[in-house]
Amino acid sequence: MSTPTLAEFEYEIGARMARSDFIGAVAAAAACRAAWPAQSAGWLLGSFAALCDGRAETALELIEECLARDPNNLQFILQQAECFSALGRRAEAIAAASRVSAQQDVSVAALEAAGQVLVNMRAYREALPIYDRAVEIAPGNTTMWMNRAFMHRMLGQFDRAALDYEAVLRLSPLNGDALKGLVDLEPQTTERNHLAALDMALASVAPTSPDAAVLRFALAKSHEDLGQYASSWQHLLEGNRLERARSHYDRGRDRAVIEELIRGFPEIEAVRPDLTQERPIFIVGLPRTGTTLVERIIGSHSQVQAAGELPALSQAISTAMNPLTGGAARSFREFAANLRFLGAEPIALQYLELTRPQRGSRARLADKQPTNFFYCALILRAFPRAHIVHVTRRPLAACYAIYKTRFDAGFPFAYDLDELADFYAGYRRLMAHWHRVLPGRILDVAYEDIVGAQEATTRRLLEYLELPFEPACLDFHLSPEATTNRASSLQVRQPLYDTSVSQWTNYSVQLAPLRARLESAGIAVD
């Protein structure tokens, strides 16, 4: 039997990778290396497959073999950065990704890939030179300007972000994302606003397109800033209608999941053995309720690494679920029904492995994935010394803040007022249950208390977290290290203000049906 050609090996490895057969891809890559040892394909593809299979050390060894032969190959350098990142070797990952921009004949695609590695590690400061180089070599590429604007926003460099958005508009005068970026950067005034450009852009796009939704939300924010609340609400209604039309959200599924969780954890959870001695901090709640603000306060402490919104917990739980279900497809309701059977160790170990790239050198990790509120019992089962901070906000203020936001991803319940009210009611019901079965383990922190009594609330928060008070936590907006890519990225770089506490009252008539639906669910709105 003849030895497969190099192309045949590459095809087989790629096909196995495409169907997630990473073990088979690793084996095929090993056979390729044996048959074609002088070619890089078996080493590079083997590194890809090993990394996907969770074998980062092996992946690094394979790609370093490639680099020994060709140390300036951009694809090899990028894969090395990915391997370092997976191993939690943050400084080496940043150094490898940063090497890309120093190469003589680097392409925009390679720069974008290197930038993405750095963004995934929240290394925005190090990513900025990557995008500086990208706009230098491709000044007509609007995506690179938008990416650099994103970096400037993450670093609190809002004037520079505005310049980048304006560069995009010179190339593409009706670019909705750039217009919305400018609108979001500062309050719109009678003397300085973008209403004419927004209206012109809206007239130029398909009425039901994603671009139209972006522009509707930008117009809603503009009219609200100008005190034109009726016009703002009309654009908000239309923007949300467009977003909801693209969603396949099923409110019944969410209700069923919450009921399964309540049934699955009916009694006070016993304290489990502490397998890891880790004390992660989980910040949970609904979006736009102050979770980012709390993360910035905590992340300004010298002992806390603010890691942002991590998918690691849900991924660790899904991995731990596989032996129970054989990895078979399951509904969310079945998934929720099986959560009660999960043990602590597989969740804890997998979570620590997945969060290694974000951990940094500080003693405590803060994970601000709001929807981890679904898993409070499993958090404390896996990490008995974990702390859960539940950020709350008054119901109508919370729901309006959610409804006025176009999210990049997630939160499909946000775009219809009835569905939003139902989800809010279910969330409140579940959190009340967690307080019953996890007595004293979850700290509720109200957004209104943070903005109304900042120091007292910060001290109470740090005391719960078993952290000494540090004045930097009061001056969180001055921290050069903390970054955020959430909708609140501008607000959390300013001193506290309370203007958003009562903003919803400008729409009390329009929100009356939502109020009635919340009250019918037993929620005290006032």
What are the structural domain ranges in the chain? 6-180, 257-495
The continuous run of DSSP H or E covering 452 comes out as helix 447-452
In a 3-state reduction of DSSP, which class is residue 314? helix
* DSSP type of residue 2: P
Residue 270: pLDDT band (50, 70, 90) is confident
Q: What is the DSSP letter of 144?
A: H
Residues 6+ apart with CB under 8 A from 473: 297, 298, 300, 301, 458, 462
- Please, what is the average pLDDT of the chain? 92
Contacts of 260 (CB under 8 A, 6+ apart): 333, 336, 337
* 148-195 confidence digits (pLDDT tens): 999 999 998 999 999 999 999 999 999 999 999 999 999 999 999 999
The pLDDT tens digits for 81-137 are: 999 988 888 889 999 999 998 888 899 999 999 999 999 888 999 999 999 999 999
Location of structure tokens 């729409």? 507
Half-sphere exposure of 73 (CA within 13 A, CB side): 16
Superfamily of domain 257-495: P-loop containing nucleotide triphosphate hydrolases (3.40.50.300)
d(CA 57, CA 89) in angstroms, rounded, equals 11
The greatest distance separating any two alpha carbons of the chain, rounded to the nearest whole angstrom, comes to 79
Architecture of domain 6-180: Alpha Horseshoe (1.25)
The answer to whether residues 476 and 482 touch, using CB atoms and an 8 Å cutoff, is yes
The two beta strands, 281-285 and 364-367, are parallel
Q: What is the Cα Rg of the chain in Å?
A: 25
Residue 493 has pLDDT above 60, yes or no: no
Q: Which of 92, 114, 94 is nearest to 103 (CA)?
A: 114
User: pLDDT at position 104, please?
Assistant: 82
